[in-house]
A and B are shown apart, each in its own frame.
Chain A
């Protein structure tokens, strides 16, 4: 499944937001995000390995197969931010339930080729279902879920960007009312 989406904000804004994507009201299944490792490579690119803890509402028909026990699933994500090339690439795969299903996602945010003030997201998902007789049902379910999630993804970004802008506003208001700190001053000039 491949999708292209446009964000109406510049790449830096979208990348900042995407790095802080969770929590947001559109992705309620993600309840934990942890950074496992992070480093800058020789080309100046930031690599991050993260663990996403999710609780997705499985349809009851799947629950009856795997049992009610654990509906918690873990996703490992590797991302690379290249501030020179202006790309933010994320790859993720589930590391639990791998004997049943494999969901690999790849997202790339880069400035829109036609308008550098906008961002383009290319998103790809490869889903394979193993050894479950209801495979076509499950694949269809996940495909439509991923499609609708892509739209939700853009809403989620908008939400995070608004939230970050509000924080900057609040800092600016505080700065006007009190003595300026270097941090607040930086926030005011950024706005």
Chain B
């Protein structure tokens, strides 16, 4: 699957691979350890945000919380 930012697809794939592995093997099995993908996500995220700005995509209210930051219940 591609990214909306053509140059971000490779970064996306690396992050996805890391996330999918953690999701299936840890998270869904009740393991509460944080995912090891923060660095990959940051690189990927920076690239995508740039693409979104360039393409003028009207994203609603997304603040970068980061994959491991605990968030208050909304």
Contacts and interface: CB of A to CB of B under 8 A. Distances in A.
B67 A38 contact: yes
Contacts of B15: 35
| Size bracket of the B interface | 35 or more
A159 B8 CA distance: 26
Nearest to A31: B2
Interface in B22-50: 23-25, 27-30, 32, 34, 41, 44-45, 48
Contacts of A95: 57-60
Interface residues of A, number: 35
Contact of A16 (B12, B28, B34, B52): B28
Given A32-B2, A34-B4, A40-B70, A51 B23 contact: no
A4 B3 CA distance: 31
Chain B's interface: helix, strand, loop or mixed, by majority? loop
Contact of A76 (B20, B32, B60): B60
A93 to B, nearest CB: 9
B23 A16 contact: yes
B62 A23 contact: no
Interface string A73-104: 01010000101100000000001100000000
B1 A42 contact: no
B54 interface: no
B19 to A, nearest CB: 8
Contact of B66 (A39, A53, A81): A39
A20 B12 CA distance: 13
Nearest to A41: B71
24 contacts: A16-B20, A20-B16, A31-B2, A32-B1, A32-B3, A32-B4, A34-B12, A34-B48, A35-B44, A36-B45, A36-B48, A36-B62, A37-B65, A38-B41, A39-B67, A39-B70, A42-B71, A43-B73, A46-B23, A51-B48, A51-B57, A74-B4, A83-B29, A96-B58
